[in-house]
Structure 1
Amino acid sequence: MFLNVHSQYSLRYGTMEIETLIKEARARNIHQMVLTDINNSTGCMEFIRLCRKEGTDHEDKHGTFWPAYDIKPIIGIEFRRDHKLLYIGIAKNKEGMKELNDFLTHHNLNELPLPDKPFQFNNAFVIYPYKNNMALAENEYLGVRANELNKIAGKSLDTVKDKLVVFHPVTVKDKVEYRLHNYLVAIGLNTVLGKLTEEDVCQKDEVLIPEDELKEKFISYDFIVSNTQKLLDSCCMDEYVFGKKNKKTFTTGAENDLKLLTELAMKGLAYRYGLDNDVALKRIKNELKVISELDFCAYFLITWDIVKYAMEERGFYHVGRGSGANSIVAYCLKITDVDPIALDLYFERFLNHKRSSPPDFDIDFSWDERPEIQKYIFQKYPNTALLGTMSSFKDKAIIREIGKVMGLPKNEIDDFTDPTKERFNTNNPTFNKILAIHTYMNNMPNQRSIHAGGILIGEEPLTYYTALDLPPKGLPTVQWDMYEAEAIGLDKYDILSQRGIGHIREAVQLVHKNKQIAIDIHDFKSFKDDPKLNAQLRAGTPIGCFYIESPAMRQLLKKLQCEDYLTLVAASSIIRPGVASSGMMKMYIQSYHNPKGVKYLSEVMEQQLGETFGIMVYQEDVIKVCCHYAGLDFADADILRRGMSGKYRKKVEFEKLEQRFFSCAKALGRDEETTKEVWRQISSFAGFSFSKAHSASFAVESYQSLFLKTYYPKEFMVAVLNNYGGFYQRWVYVHALQRTGAEVHLPCVNHSDDVVNITGNKAYLGFIGVQGLENRLIALIPQERKQNGNYIDLEDLIKRTNLSLEQSLILIRIGALRFMGKSKKELLWEVYNYLGNKTKPMPGKELFHLPSKEYVLPNLDTHLVEDAYQELELLGFPISLSMFDLLKTEYRGDILAKDLEKQEGKIVKLLGNFVCDKTVYTIKNTKMWFGTFIDNEGDFFDTTHFPNNNPIYPFKGKGCYLILGKVVLDFGVPSIEVLKFAKLPIVDNPVFITNSKPLKI
Structure 2
Amino acid sequence: MSSFVHLHVHTQYSILDGAAFIPDLFAKAEADKQPALAITDHGNMFGVKEFLNIAQKHPSVKPIIGCEVYVAPEGRLLRKNKEEATTCHLVLLAKNHTGYLNLIKLVSQAWIDGFYYKPRIDHELLKQHHQGLIALSACLAGELPRLILAGKMDEASQLVAWYKKLFGDDYYIELQRHKTRLNTQNAKTCYELQKQIEPHLLSLAREHHVKVVATNDVHFVNYEDAPAHDRLICIAINEDVTDENRKLKYTEEEYLKSSQEMTRLFSDIPEALATTLEIADKVEPFDLDRKPLLPHFPIPEEFSDANAYLRHLTIRGAERLYGQITPELKERIDFELETIAYMGYPDYFLIVSDFIQAARNMDVWVGPGRGSVAGSVVAYCLGITLVDPIRYGLLFERFLNADRISLPDMDIDFADDGRSKIFQYVENKYGKDHVARVVTFGTMAARSAIRDVARVQRLPLSEAERLAKLIPDRLPEKDGKSQIINIDNSLKYVPELQAALKSEDPLVSTTLKYARRLEGSIRNTGIHACAIIIGPDNLTNHIPLSTGKDKDTGEDMLVSQFEGSLIEQVGMLKMDFLALKTLSILKTSVENIKTNHNINIDINNIPLTDGPTYELFSRGDTVGVFQFESDGMRKWLRELKPTCIEDLIAMTALYRPGPMEYIPDFIDRKHGRKTITYDVPQMEKYLKETYGITVYQEQVMLLSQELAGFSGFKADSLRYAMGKKKPQEMETMKQEFLDGGKARGFDEAILKKIWVDWTAFSQYAFNKSHATSYSILSYQTGYLKANYPAEFMAAVLSKSRDNIEEVGKFMDECKRMELNVLGPDVNESMHDFTVNKHGDIRFGMAGIKGVGYRAVENIIQARQDGEPFRDIYDFVERINLNTCNRRVLESLVYAGAFDSFTDIKRHQYFLPFNKDGLFLDSLIRYGSKIQEDKNKDMLSLFGTGSDSLAPVEKPAPPHINLEVQEDFLKKEREMVGIYLSAHPLDRFSFEMKHFTNRSLQQIQEILDDGQYEEPFVAREVRVGGIVTNVTSALSRSSGRPWGTFTVEDYTASRKFTLFGKEYEQFLPYMREGEALLIHGSLQERIQYRRRGQDPKTVDGPKEKEFRILAISLLANARESLHSLTLNLNVENISGSFRSELVKVMTDNPGKITVHFILKDKSNKMAVKLFSRSHRIDLTPDLLSWIHKKGIEFSVE
TM range (shorter): 0.7 to 0.9
Q: Quickly say closer, same or farther: Cα 1:400–1:820, change in 2 above 3 A.
A: closer
Hey, what does 1:651 align to over in structure 2? none
Q: Quickly say closer, same or farther: Cα 1:156–1:255, change in 2 above 3 A.
A: same
2:428 matched to 1:379?
A: yes
Hey, what does 1:749 align to over in structure 2? 826
2:534 matched to 1:503?
A: no
Hey, what does 1:852 align to over in structure 2? 953
Alignment match of 1:697 (pick from 769, 773, 789): 773
Indicate the SS of the match to 2:451: helix
Q: Quickly say closer, same or farther: Cα 1:201–1:273, change in 2 above 3 A.
A: farther
Q: Quickly say closer, same or farther: Cα 1:578–1:759, change in 2 above 3 A.
A: same
Indicate the SS of the match to 1:887: helix
Hey, what does 1:477 align to over in structure 2? 559
Alignment match of 1:128 (pick from 137, 141, 160): 137
Q: Quickly say closer, same or farther: Cα 1:598–1:184, change in 2 above 3 A.
A: farther
Tell me how far 1:783 sits from its aligned partner. Answer: 2.8
For the residues of structure 2 that align with 1:737 and 1:203, how far apart are their CA atoms? 63
Tell me how far 1:639 sits from its aligned partner. Answer: 7.0
For the residues of structure 1 that align with 2:332 and 2:564, how far apart are their CA atoms? 31
2:110 matched to 1:101?
A: no
Hey, what does 1:3 align to over in structure 2? 7
Alignment deviations for residues 624-680 of structure 1 (CA, whole Å, 9 cap, x no partner): 999999x99966863774x6xxxxxxxxxx7xx469868997998999999999877
For the residues of structure 1 that align with 2:33 and 2:255, how far apart are their CA atoms? 17
Indicate the SS of the match to 1:522: helix
Tell me how far 1:611 sits from its aligned partner. Answer: 5.8
2:374 matched to 1:325?
A: yes
Q: Is the 8 A contact 1:915 1:934 kept in 2?
A: no
Alignment match of 2:889 (pick from 808, 824, 832): 808
Q: Which runs of 5+ in 1 are unaligned?
A: 55-68, 644-653, 895-908, 968-976, 988-996
For the residues of structure 2 that align with 1:635 and 1:931, how far apart are their CA atoms? 50
Hey, what does 1:994 align to over in structure 2? none
For the residues of structure 1 that align with 2:694 and 2:999, how far apart are their CA atoms? 38
- 1:172-211 aligned at under 5 Å gives the runs 172-178=220-226, 180-195=228-243, 200-201=249-250, 203-204=252-253, 206-207=255-256, 209-210=258-259
Output the TM-score relative to the length of structure 1.
0.78
Q: Is the 8 A contact 2:700 2:758 kept in 1?
A: no
2:152 matched to 1:143?
A: no
Tell me how far 1:318 sits from its aligned partner. Answer: 3.6
2:91 matched to 1:88?
A: yes
- 1:297-696 aligned at under 5 Å gives the runs 297-314=346-363, 316-355=365-404, 357-382=406-431, 383-416=434-467, 417-418=469-470, 422-428=494-500, 429-430=502-503, 441=518, 443=520, 445-463=522-540, 464-470=542-548, 473=551, 474-524=556-606, 526=607, 528-577=608-657, 579-580=659-660, 583-585=661-663, 588-589=666-667, 592-593=670-671, 596-597=674-675, 612=690, 617-618=695-696, 638=720, 641=723, 657=726, 691-696=767-772
2:918 matched to 1:832?
A: yes
Hey, what does 1:797 align to over in structure 2? 875
Q: Quickly say closer, same or farther: Cα 1:961–1:261, change in 2 above 3 A.
A: farther
Q: Quickly say closer, same or farther: Cα 1:680–1:27, change in 2 above 3 A.
A: farther
Hey, what does 1:169 align to over in structure 2? 217
For the residues of structure 1 that align with 2:772 and 2:665, how far apart are their CA atoms? 21
**Which shows bigger deviation, 375-384 or 827-836?**
827-836
Tell me how far 1:297 sits from its aligned partner. Answer: 0.8
The structure with the largest alpha-carbon Rg is 2
- 1:896-935 aligned at under 5 Å gives the runs 917-918=1004-1005, 919=1007
**Which shows bigger deviation, 1-10 or 860-869?**
860-869
Q: Is the 8 A contact 1:912 1:962 kept in 2?
A: no
Indicate the SS of the match to 2:14: coil
Alignment deviations for residues 815-857 of structure 1 (CA, whole Å, 9 cap, x no partner): 3234444131555557934625996836554436834156586
Q: Quickly say closer, same or farther: Cα 1:507–1:608, change in 2 above 3 A.
A: closer
Q: Quickly say closer, same or farther: Cα 1:981–1:247, change in 2 above 3 A.
A: farther
Tell me how far 1:593 sits from its aligned partner. Answer: 4.8
**Which shows bigger deviation, 912-921 or 785-794?**
912-921
For the residues of structure 2 that align with 1:978 and 1:593, how far apart are their CA atoms? 39
Indicate the SS of the match to 2:332: helix
Tell me how far 1:540 sits from its aligned partner. Answer: 1.1
- 1:716-727 aligned at under 5 Å gives the runs 716-724=792-800
Tell me how far 1:24 sits from its aligned partner. Answer: 4.4
Q: Is the 8 A contact 1:913 1:960 kept in 2?
A: no
Tell me how far 1:879 sits from its aligned partner. Answer: 4.0
2:783 alignment partner AA: F
Tell me how far 1:41 sits from its aligned partner. Answer: 1.0
Tell me how far 1:807 sits from its aligned partner. Answer: 4.0
CA RMSD, 1 decimal = 5.3
Q: Is the 8 A contact 1:9 1:42 kept in 2?
A: yes
For the residues of structure 2 that align with 1:199 and 1:513, how far apart are their CA atoms? 62
For the residues of structure 1 that align with 2:819 and 2:98, how far apart are their CA atoms? 65
Q: Quickly say closer, same or farther: Cα 1:719–1:247, change in 2 above 3 A.
A: same
Alignment match of 1:782 (pick from 844, 860, 872): 860
Q: Which runs of 5+ in 2 are unaligned?
A: 72-81, 140-144, 179-193, 473-492, 739-747, 938-948, 1026-1048, 1083-1105, 1117-1179, 1185-1196
Hey, what does 1:822 align to over in structure 2? 903
For the residues of structure 1 that align with 2:590 and 2:439, how far apart are their CA atoms? 35
For the residues of structure 1 that align with 2:438 and 2:809, how far apart are their CA atoms? 36
Alignment match of 2:976 (pick from 875, 893, 898): 875
For the residues of structure 1 that align with 2:339 and 2:134, how far apart are their CA atoms? 45
For the residues of structure 1 that align with 2:778 and 2:1073, how far apart are their CA atoms? 29
Q: Is the 8 A contact 2:895 2:975 kept in 1?
A: yes
For the residues of structure 2 that align with 1:10 and 1:856, how far apart are their CA atoms? 63
Q: Is the 8 A contact 1:365 1:497 kept in 2?
A: yes
Indicate the SS of the match to 1:397: helix
Alignment deviations for residues 705-734 of structure 1 (CA, whole Å, 9 cap, x no partner): 222222222222222222226996224434
For the residues of structure 1 that align with 2:796 and 2:1009, how far apart are their CA atoms? 32
Tell me how far 1:279 sits from its aligned partner. Answer: 3.1
Hey, what does 1:900 align to over in structure 2? none
Q: Is the 8 A contact 1:367 1:499 kept in 2?
A: yes
Tell me how far 1:243 sits from its aligned partner. Answer: 1.4
Q: Is the 8 A contact 2:825 2:896 kept in 1?
A: yes
Q: Is the 8 A contact 1:714 1:740 kept in 2?
A: no
**Which shows bigger deviation, 436-445 or 404-413?**
436-445
- 1:239-254 aligned at under 5 Å gives the runs 240=288, 242-251=290-299
Hey, what does 2:788 align to over in structure 1? 712
Alignment deviations for residues 925-958 of structure 1 (CA, whole Å, 9 cap, x no partner): x9979999999xx9999x9x9x9xxx99999999
Aligned residues: 923
1:144 alignment partner AA: L
For the residues of structure 1 that align with 2:650 and 2:625, how far apart are their CA atoms? 17
Tell me how far 1:275 sits from its aligned partner. Answer: 2.1
Tell me how far 1:422 sits from its aligned partner. Answer: 2.9
Q: Quickly say closer, same or farther: Cα 1:568–1:960, change in 2 above 3 A.
A: farther
Tell me how far 1:173 sits from its aligned partner. Answer: 3.6
Tell me how far 1:305 sits from its aligned partner. Answer: 0.5
2:823 alignment partner AA: L
Indicate the SS of the match to 2:573: coil
Hey, what does 1:74 align to over in structure 2? 64
Tell me how far 1:598 sits from its aligned partner. Answer: 7.0
Q: Is the 8 A contact 1:916 1:932 kept in 2?
A: no
1:88 alignment partner AA: V
**Which shows bigger deviation, 482-491 or 116-125?**
116-125
Output the TM-score relative to the length of structure 2.
0.66
For the residues of structure 2 that align with 1:27 and 1:291, how far apart are their CA atoms? 48
Hey, what does 2:203 align to over in structure 1? 156
Q: Is the 8 A contact 1:544 1:726 kept in 2?
A: no
For the residues of structure 2 that align with 1:776 and 1:498, how far apart are their CA atoms? 26
